[in-house]
Amino acid sequence: MRLAFRKTIVSRATLLSALLIPVGHSPAAAQTAPAAALVRYRVAPTETDSAIHRFTMANYVVFDRAVKANAPLLLFMPGTGGNPANTTDFLDVAAGQGYRVISLAYNDVPAVAQLCPRDRDPDCSAKVRRRRIYGDDATRLIDDTPAEAIVNRLAKLLAKLDRDHPNEGWGQYLGGTAPRWERIAVSGLSQGAGMAAFIAQKTRVARVVLFSSPWDNYGAGHTLAPWLGKGTGATPRESWFAAYHEKENTAGIIAQAYRALGIPQSQIRVLTLEPARMAGDNPYHPSSVGNGGTPREPDGTPSYTAVWKFLLGQPNQQ
């Protein structure tokens, strides 16, 4: 599948007629758990594994004090250069929905989108993601060590949380020393969303929530990476949810990637609101979930709260 690199502008009328998006919400829909009910931790990766030396911003951990004992974990992975605490508005909503939540620091530079579009290898992005997620020696384009891999970082963080807070239920997301993916929902923005999709395709997870990615491609013709054409894989289609903004630079590519993955159109939200802050050359890209760019209601509530709740589902009612 060949991709056209151009900004895709979709009219509001077209989006509404396709029943793809609620473009706003009522204040009542924005209600979440009171801030006082949320427990927050910030844990440096170096505190979880002495072999981790790079990309050591603190992991952000949040959950509601009244969370169900068997609540699923939401793993969120930021975009390239992102701080795990830059999406706390969304993460706190997820905690209010009934998840225990971890926003994970991981090796995110250089980005997949920086390495592979000019590479002739159709499997470039899959190899980079394999090494960055699992620690496999799949490519020499990046030098991520096994200790720095996403899976090891998550497992070591969960083990530390379980040791430090044995009554909070963190151990249920580990099977020995490995994550129990069937108990974990995966999410992310940009490069992080690509990591979430790759994990969910390989291993069944509890839910998938993608923001503005993946759009992996290769070669002069910008051909869609083969791994995307393999569909939803181990995680059923009904568990995949996604969003992107109609005006972000790669909107057309993202839409094609979501189709290639087989995400049902009814489970995709195409966002239309203007960002709260117009910064950089693509301000629409992080505005779906980033604290600084997310549009706000007059009372300061994030305008996409209802959208986030739809994407996350309601594990506290299951």
Q: Residue 186's domain is classified under what CATH number?
A: 3.40.50.1820
What's the pLDDT at 318? Answer: 60
Helices 124-134 and 150-164: crossing angle in degrees, nearest 10, is 20
- Specify whether the CB–CB gap between 139 and 127 falls below 8 A: yes
Runs of H (alpha helix) within the chain: 12-17, 88-97, 112-115, 124-134, 150-164, 191-202, 251-261, 305-312
Paired tokens of 223: 């051909």
pLDDT value at residue 17: 29
Residue 49, Cβ density class (10 Å: 0-12 exposed, 13-18 middle, ≥19 buried) = middle
CA distance 57 to 111: 17
Residue 51 within a domain: yes
Cα–Cα distance for residue pair 73/87, rounded to 1 Å? 16
Question: What is the reported pLDDT for 33?
Answer: 57
Q: How many domains would you assign to the chain? A: 1
Structural domain contains residue 318: no
* Tens of pLDDT, residues 204-252: 999 999 999 999 998 888 889 999 999 999 999 999 999 999 999 999 9
Domain coverage including residue 146: 12-313
* Within a domain: 173: yes
Residue 82 counted as domain residue: yes
Quick count: other Cβ atoms within 10 Å of Cβ 303? 19
Does 83 score more than 60 pLDDT?
yes
Strand residue runs (E) in 15-169: 38-43, 59-64, 73-77, 100-103
> 284, 271, 289, 98: which is closest to 192 by C-alpha?
289
* pLDDT at residue number 50: 98
| pLDDT-above-70 percentage for the chain | 88
Nearest alpha carbon to residue 240 among 187, 304, 309: 187
Torsion on CA atoms 200, 204, 209, 210, rounded to nearest 10: 10
| Integer Cα distance of 175 and 163 in angstroms | 15
CA nearest neighbour of 63 among 21, 25, 87, 91: 91
Contacts of 301 (CB under 8 A, 6+ apart): 27, 30
| Average confidence (pLDDT) over 278-285 | 89
The pLDDT of residue 13: 31
pTM value > 0.85: yes
98-129 pLDDT tens trace: 999 999 999 999 999 999 998 889 999 999 99
